Structure 1
């Protein structure tokens, strides 16, 4: 019985081995390129083709497939540079990019697939240094949008030579030395103090002008009143105004003259003769 089983297994073993080999070969003959990728087909290290998305066949154990992401990718790199007025500045540049799918053969042949380390990071350093050198430190702060636009345009042109399409660039705040930051803060404080002094001076001048105007108005009022008094009888007009304000109560002090009684010399003489 055992001999019969052994003989049967011996007869089927080659079939089993062949089936397993066929399965392995079949599995190694097919591959899939996912959506948003391309496949670089290599045969003995040489590029044979750039495969698109979907199911494909290859020569098993001979061909190699390298998947490449051609969707939007992000790269970041710090950068240091010197301004036109010799100030050191640091920043970080982040950019969105994608590889040109139609030029993968050329890209792989020239720089391989490490485009960030070999192409993007060095180009960021070069672009930042070249652009920042055209601006002073204060201009970097005042013309941030112009600086960003210049860096983006330069990067776009350089990366295009390596079949890399630049989509967008973001630049973080520029960081200067502590001494420069202190100088900027001192300048801003001085400008604020100067503006406050100017505003105070303007306020004082306005207040002084208001006082002058009020004084002139009061003087004009007095002049008009004086002219009115002279026009209406002079001293008699003043006495009439005093009578109008008198409450009718005579003074209680003995010997004090009665107010508002101004006798003429003739009246006084007649009173004396009586």
Structure 2
């Protein structure tokens, strides 16, 4: 009997030690960055924890993480345009769980997958199918941004009151019948050619205007030069007239200038014409040289 008790004692101690160690280890847990931890006790969500190391009741509490980073859902949806053209739209939505309300989402919907399947995806498909038929196929191809804005506005309205936010929506691809795509490409090619021709004409007009402006500038420059030359001639004429007037005035006031001018212009030869004895040679009275 004593031996049996001894064996039981030495078996129980290691078991208790292992259980104690397991309890200690299971008392700690970590929550990954970009997530929140939902602490469940007997399957009931009690509270949530932020990323990091935390303590929980061993063997009782279970941790389930919910991602609070931006998530992306993609959908491939058949629809039709305003002219009843069949179209397949590949669209995606980026959305984020409200971090502070993550536990409410878990309590109401059981997690992200259930929320996507029951709430987000059906409303996203409905928003796309509401907006796409408002566009013609050509408008949808050429103005995808307006269609995206319409889907985004529709979905945001539908998602009010839920603990998530719709960040943005993208139309990844639009699949139309091949024949219609070819007609759109033909129209686009014709439009591109027309735009190129218009650009060419506008450029020619611009170059013609530049030539006109250059010619006008050159003509203005010639006019300016001519005006400057005429002004110079006028000033020169006025100066010469003033000089002549001054010279005439000097002649009137000093008769000796006439004699001096004659002497300056005399070539040193006496006149060859016959003169009477009584005629006197012209005598120029010059001032006597100073000693």
User: TM-score category by the smaller chain?
Assistant: 0.5 to 0.7
* Runs of 4+ with >4 A deviation: 5-11, 185-193
Equivalent position of 1:158 in the other structure: 158
- In structure 1, how many angstroms separate the alpha carbons of the residues matched to 2:42 and 2:192? 72
Q: Distance in 2 between matches of 1:9 and 1:25?
A: 25
Alignment of 1:157-196 (within 5 A): 157-185=157-185, 187=187
The corresponding residue for 2:258 is: none
Query: Aligned partners of 2:186, 2:56: CA distance in 1, in Å?
Result: 70
The structure 2 residue matched to 1:71, chosen from 58, 69, 72, is 69
Alignment of 1:242-253 (within 5 A): none
Match of 2:49 in 1: 51
What's the counterpart of residue 136 of structure 2?
136
1:185 deviates by: 4.4
1:123: how far off? 2.2
Contact 1:93–1:124 (CA<8 Å) still a contact in 2?
no
1:132–1:15 CA distance, 2 compared to 1 (3 A): same
Q: CA deviation at 1:82?
A: 1.5
In the superposition, relative to structure 1, how do residues 164 and 178 fare at CA in structure 2: closer, same or farther (>3 Å)?
A: same
Contact 2:144/2:171, CA 8 A, preserved across alignment: no
Give the structure 1 partner of residue 99 of structure 2: 101
Q: TM-score, normalised by structure 2?
A: 0.58
Deviations 1:137-196 (A, max 9, x none): 222123211111111222233334332222222212321123422443455577789x69
Alignment CA distance shift 1:19-1:190 (3 Å): closer
User: For structure 2, which runs of at least 5 residues remain unmatched after alignment?
Assistant: 202-291
Greater Rg by CA: 2
Q: Using structure 1 for the length normalisation, give the TM-score.
A: 0.61
2:91 touches 2:173 (CA, 8 Å); kept in 1?
Answer: no
- Inter-partner Cα distance in structure 2 for 1:167 and 1:11: 63
RMSD in angstroms over aligned alpha carbons? Answer: 3.0
Secondary structure of the 2:134 match is coil
Unaligned 5+ residue runs, structure 1?
Answer: 203-274
Structure 2 CA distance, aligned partners of 1:70 and 1:135? 35
Q: 2: CA distance between counterparts of 1:158 and 1:180?
A: 33
Write the distance in 2 (CA, Å) between the matches of 1:11 and 1:46.
38
